[in-house]
Amino acid sequence: MKTTNYMEDLIKSVRKFTESKDSPPLACVHSFGCQLNFSDGEKIKGILMTMGFGFTESFDSADIIIFNTCAVRESAEDKAFGIIGSVKHLKEKNPSLIIGLCGCMANEDHVVERIKKSYSFIDIVFGTSALDELPKLLLDIFNGKKRAFDTTEYNKPISEQMEIVRDSHFKASVPIMYGCNNFCTYCIVPYVRGRERSRNHNAIIAEVTKLVEDGYKEIMLLGQNVNSYGNDLSDGISFSELLRELNKIDGEFVIRFMSPHPKDASFELIDTIIQCEKIAKHMHLPVQSGDNEILKVMNRKYTIEKYLEIVDYARQQAPDFSFTTDIIVGFPNETEEQFNATLNILRRVGYDNVYTFIYSKRSGTEAASIDDSISYEEKSKRMRTLLALQREIAIERYKRFIGRTMTVLVDDECKSTDGWVHGKSNEFIIVEFKAPKELVGKFVKVKITESKNWAVIGELID
C-alpha cells in the first residue's frame, strides 16, 4: 500500500489541473455488477472528489467517464462492451474526454488484451485493488501519456484512507472483507478479486457508528463470503462477534449482510441473528443447486442435508425467518433429474426470492474445461420452469403477512403508480403502499392487505 504522503502529493498535482478550469470538471462513474462493485464505485467517486471533480449522471456532459465493470457472466461483459462502445463518438467529438475502465474485467488478461488492441479510445485501465492508483494514472494522462494501465495486482492490502461519495443518504454499503478463497469451479471472482482480506473490526465499527450518527438507516455489510470474515486475521474477531458488536451501536437502523456461504453457516450465526434486534431476520444463502453431485463438481463444500439443517434450525426458532438464494441453471451436464432436485429445494425451503442465472462459461475457471452436453435451449426452458415455480411459491409465502403490520424502510416512489412508494420489510420483502414521497428514507408501519408474486401490498398506518 502506498503511503498517505505519496497519495496526497499525487492528489495535489491532479488538483492543479482541475483547479485551472473555470468550473470543476465533471466525472461520470458507471458501475455494473454486484453491491461490492458499486461500493468500489463510491470509493472511486471519493477519490475523484478529493481531486477536485464534480459529478454528472450523463455521459454527454462528462469530462471523465469511468466504467466499473463486472465479469461474472459473459452477458455482463457483453453489456459493458456495448455501453463502452456507445461513448466512442463522444471521444471523437471531444478528444480531451478521458475514458477509464476498472473493476473485475480489468483483471482479466483477455479483456486487457482486447482493450489494448481494439479499444484505443479507452485511456486508463486499473484493476480491482488499484483504486488508489487512479491519481497516478490520471496524472500520467494529464502529463501527455497516451494510455495508462495498472492491472497486474489484485491482492493488495486494504486502504482505509479513501473518501467515499455515497449513492444513498439512508442506505450504506460497508465492505467488511475483500476477495474470495473458495474457487467454486464456475466462478471468475477469485481470479479477479484475489484472496480474502478482512478489514480491522475497529475500523468497521467506527465506520458504522459514524454512518448511524449521520442518519443512515440500513447498513449492508458486504463480502464475497462474509461468514469467513476474520479467518485471515491473527488478532481478529469472528463474523458473529462482529455482528454482536455492531448490534450494540445506539440508534434506529437495520443491519443486513451479503453473502454468507453455506459451508460456513453455523447455528451460532443463526442464534446471533435471532438474538440481535437490529439484525434483519433474513439470510441470502446461495444454494446454487439442489443436487449433491453437482454441488461437489461445483466445489461448494456442503451437501443439501447440511444446508437444510441451517434452514430448519432458523425456522424452528423464528418461523418467519426469510431465506433468499442464488441458483445456477444448466451447470455443465446437469441432468433433468438433477434440475428437478433444484426445483425440490425451492419447494422444501420456501424462498422469498430467488436469483437465477444460466451457467456461463468463464475462461480460466475449472468448469470451463468440462464438455457440456446440454443445449442452451434446454437451459433456457429450465430457467423458465424454475421462475414460474418460484412465482407460485412467493405468492403463497407472502400470504403469511396478510393482516399483519410490517416495519418498512421506504426506498423510493413507485414508477408505475402515482402517489405510491415501495420499501423493504425487515425480511427483505418488497412492500408497496400509498404514501407521500417525503417518507423515502424513513421507517414506517404498513398493514399488509394483499400478496403478489413480487411484493406485498399494504396500507400505511399513521
Where are the extended beta strands (E) located within 208-277? 218-222, 254-258
Looking at beta carbons only, is 18 or 107 nearer to ligand SAH?
A: 107
Instruction: Using CB under 6 A, pick the residue from 37, 69, 224, 426 that binds ligand SF4.
Output: 224
Give me the residue whose beta carbon is nearest to ligand F3S: 33
Yes or no: say if 288 and 264 are a contact pair by the CB < 8 Å rule. no
State yes or no: residue 225 binds ligand SAH (CB under 6 A).
Answer: yes
For residues 66 and 370, give the distance between their C-alpha atoms in angstroms, rounded to a whole number.
35
Query: For residue 257, which amino acid is it?
Result: F
- Type and span of the H or E element at 355: strand 353-358
Q: Does 224 bind ligand SAH (CB under 6 A)?
A: yes
Selected binder of ligand SF4 within 64, 180, 226, 270 (CB under 6 A): 180
187 binds ligand SF4 (CB under 6 A): yes
Q: Does 328 bind ligand SAH (CB under 6 A)?
A: yes
Pick from 199, 261, 379, 397: which binds ligand SF4 (CB under 6 A)?
261
Nearest Cα to Cα of residue 147 among 128, 110, 120: 120
Residue 394 CB neighbours (<10 A): 22
Q: Which is nearer to ligand SF4, 100 or 262 (CB)?
A: 262
What does R_g of the chain's alpha carbons equal in angstroms?
23
Return the residue of 41, 190, 260, 262 that touches ligand SF4, per CB under 6 A: 190
268-297 footprint of ligand SAH as x/- string (CB under 6 A): ------------------x-x---------
Cα–chain center distance at 277? 24
Closest-CA residue to 308 (of 341, 356, 272, 274): 341
Taking contact as CB under 6 A, which single stretch among the options 88-96, 140-148, 164-172, 352-360 is the one that binds ligand SAH?
352-360
The DSSP element (H or E) to which 296 belongs, if any, is helix 292-297
Q: Which of 304, 325, 313, 170 is nearest to 260 (CA)?
A: 325
The minimum distance between CB 372 and ligand F3S, in angstroms, equals: 21
Round to whole Å and give the CA distance between 354 and 391: 9
Q: Is 253 in the site for ligand SAH (CB under 6 A)?
A: no
Residues at the contact surface with ligand SAH, assessed by CB under 6 A: 72-73, 186-187, 189, 224-225, 259, 261, 286, 288, 326, 328, 357, 359-360, 362
Residues at the contact surface with ligand SF4, assessed by CB under 6 A: 180, 182-184, 187, 189-190, 224-225, 261
